[in-house]
Amino acid sequence: MSTTKLTPAATLKKPGEHNPLMTQRFGADPYALVYNGRIYIYMTADVIETNPDGSPKPNSYQKINKINVLSSDDMVNWTDHGSIFAAGDEGAAKWGGNSWAPAAACKEVDGKMKFFLYFANSGNGIGVLSADSPVGPFTDPIGKALINRDTPNCANVTWLFDPAVWVDKDGSAYIYVGGGVPGWPPTPEQIEHPHTARMAKLGDDMISLATDPIAIDPPFLFEDSGINRIGDTYYYSYCSNFNVDGHPSASKYNLENGQICYMTSDSPFGPFTYQKAILKNPGFYFGPGGNNHHCIFEFNGKYYITYHSQILDAPLKTGGGYRCTHIDELTVNPDGSIEMATGTRTGVKQLKYFNPYETVSAATMSTMGGIDTVPADEITKQYGSGTMKVSGIDDGDWIMVSGVDFGADGAALFGGTFSVNADAKGAVTVRLDSLTDGTDAATLPIGDTAGASRLRVGTSIPEKITGVHDVYFLFSGSGYEWISWEFGK
């Protein structure tokens, strides 16, 4: 079946737009983990809520019990690793009802690299999951909250949520949590100094506390702890509350409602000194506002800030309050000060060309139209994260991989692995450089399954693909799901 005359499915990201990172699902409150040359982004898995008649309703945040995870080594093409079953009846932490605002860390424990995922059980405590891989499977190592309202100095924290974790050069690790403005209505003093942030040293096992939490005092704190070390300085960052505008002390901090700002200290325990705001509220850049949540990270020698917006709410006609994740560059000056970042749809530049001569998860893309992703194996089905495949395929659906380098010798072969139904029929066309009028370089037919549920298909490429191209995979037919692909010379 030819895809040449198919009308491509609509996309939520225009050519050249790298934000948001994905459009197949929502993802909020992003947190970054760098490991083994890849950046992993963990996100609150916003769930679209509907009324009994099926009409959309605003996000209540009470249905969220999963954590989305993506990874990339070029910051533009992202591999979808699924949605970690974190809390609730099907989750690893069955004692918890929600999994908000994840934080991730890795550390060698007992001679083995372990990965840890911290999350908020609504506004009443912090859970921790662990795994042997950054994409899971994640399990609950302690069977209860790591921090709750019985933890010393935490009973009076308005919102006991939004963890951030830092593993220092010597292996010591620290956790920062909390937020909210006490009192209703709050006094001007409570607005300026909520005293609802807490920090503690983690145990060597990363799943216990080595110290009781202590209070820190971010001015105008709302939520969203962040922690970094740059040189010998510790940076605590956070989101300001929504009572800043009009407050008599606002000018002292040069601060507005719902901005990301930071403080510095020469110790992870503080005291921290306020510096300035570094990212305005998403509403300033994109129209819809709402809360502001971020993570600062370094990757390949440059600094970035990941955050969320609500720019997909309108085109998807959801009920409001659903978030998607962005990344933009962050400038750290030689003196350690941080410049104000800018939220964009363009996002960051691709860091390196994509290698097509290795097996690639089909759930790797910079943008797409019409498709979905689902677990590709039994482990991923059980735990929610791991290996995903492209699903929901219909005529005209597509995915795109940016900046693929086929080299001077070029690609002469193209192959893929699929899950198929008995009546599977269709094709994947490789289209170069433009979705609407690009060059069709190869077509991979899908059919004749002979009763198999898994199908491996290959084809020769009539004229070798050389050089660097944006590669579109355009689908026709139905009854199949795409697991992986690769090109050959």
Residue of 162, 192, 223, 470 marked active site: 223
Compute the distance between CA of residue 285 and CA of residue 293 in angstroms, rounded to an integer. Answer: 14
Please give the single-letter amino acid code of residue 426: G
344: left (phi over 0), alpha (psi -120 to 50) or beta: beta
Compute the distance between CA of residue 213 and CA of residue 164 in angstroms, rounded to an integer. Answer: 13
| Sign of CA pseudo-dihedral 267, 268, 273, 277 | positive
Residues whose CB is less than 8 angstroms from the CB of residue 46 and which lie 6 or more positions away in sequence, other chains included? 26, 27, 28, 59, 61, 64, 321, 322, 323
Task: Kindly write down the DSSP assignment for every residue of 388-415, as one continuous string.
Answer: EEEES--TT-EEEEEEEE-TTT-EEEEE
Cβ(466)–Cβ(359) below 8 Å: no
Task: Give the three-state DSSP class for 249.
Answer: coil
Is 29 assigned a catalytic role?
A: yes
55, 141, 313, 423 from 320: Cα distances, Å: 12, 35, 6, 39
Is 298 assigned a catalytic role?
A: no
Residues whose CB is less than 8 angstroms from the CB of residue 170 and which lie 6 or more positions away in sequence, other chains included? none
Please give the single-letter amino acid code of residue 51: N
160, 233, 434, 482 from 360: Cα distances, Å: 40, 39, 21, 11
Alpha carbon distance, N-terminus to C-terminus of the chain = 25
Token pair, residue 282, equals 């998403």
Among candidate residues 80, 74, 78, 81, the one with its CA nearest the CA of residue 468:
74
Residue of 29, 80, 162, 470 marked active site: 29
Residues whose CB is less than 8 angstroms from the CB of residue 463 and which lie 6 or more positions away in sequence, other chains included? 441
Compute the distance between CA of residue 404 and CA of residue 390 in angstroms, rounded to an integer. Answer: 19
Q: Is 244 exposed, middle or buried (0-12, 13-18, 19+ CB in 10 A)?
A: buried
Residues labelled catalytic: 29, 223
